[in-house]
Structure 1
């Protein structure tokens, strides 16, 4: 199946219920261009350096998402152009994003990554830590970031029931936080679901799915 056909198929399945983020890590710019020509405008990268190298080679209306673990010392490289940082897992990281965004007179949208998987290798905040962060007085000092939702990665398992329960728990947290009112918080986006589980994620309320191999084929490490 071609990249264009794959994108059409996925968009048909999503049926407008969630936005598609094409996960482009390790993929050459030529394949990203094909996805762009097929209508994709949201590209997700894991590595800062890779995103920074690809960004100037593609049209300016691409919305770049940082979806991998982000170190504070790497924020400066993507601050000029990144559209959404999906992997915020600490107040310290939010503060650095705010500092770098201010240098470029930008407001950078962010998602708080929530730990929902039964795997020690995953990153993220515990639900109670998310609540504490959103109630922190320190948050009011950050005028160049906006927390617009949550992101989570389910356990890498063939057990659909477990995956569904993990997504369901994240959706419950999302719903509980939606009424939060702060100048730089507007909880509207729930990013969950990848190539292997995006249909379950959408059924459980995801507004954004991150799909790579189902578009481009198996990636090279």
Structure 2
């Protein structure tokens, strides 16, 4: 069975729903990372807080609080990365044995589906989980780089390298956070992609739910208002 034969198994609505899923995932990321200047997202609002954190770190001695905070951030990326690996392993295992899914489909719709159909649907979930895993791994490394530049920052505010190292630390921390948030968004949409196992209508609905959840947390949450009140 070639690629065209595989695609012929899907109705036009299936292809439209997948396009909505990945198109929304990409556009939402673009909006969150590059929001209107008058209405910044939580992601953008926290950029300045990290920069201020690194400036305050210069004169903080000892830097136990900074070390603990950075360690917590790295542990968070490691936790989500490990979770993605476990979930990805489960999806790949299910792709190699789709009989259980077919049995459920027969019970619900009284009709079976070709194995390749289930595999392609699960491939969308696996692709998003893989993207999330790679982003979490990179965020973990960036937080590690940030820890190094933090350690290289002098405690003396008059040292010419102090503000430079603090600025570098802040920018690296911001890049790490951007990649961490990208990983989280991919997890949200990987859960939405599971809706395709039911129907293309369900996929569009779960994509809408995931989008609403992310948009509300980035642009209409109490935490956002708190961050702006400074």
TM-score bucket (shorter structure): under 0.3
**More helix by proportion, 1 or 2?**
2
Structure number with higher relative contact order (C-alpha < 8 Å, ≥ 6 residues apart): 2
Structure with higher strand content:
1
Larger Rg: 2
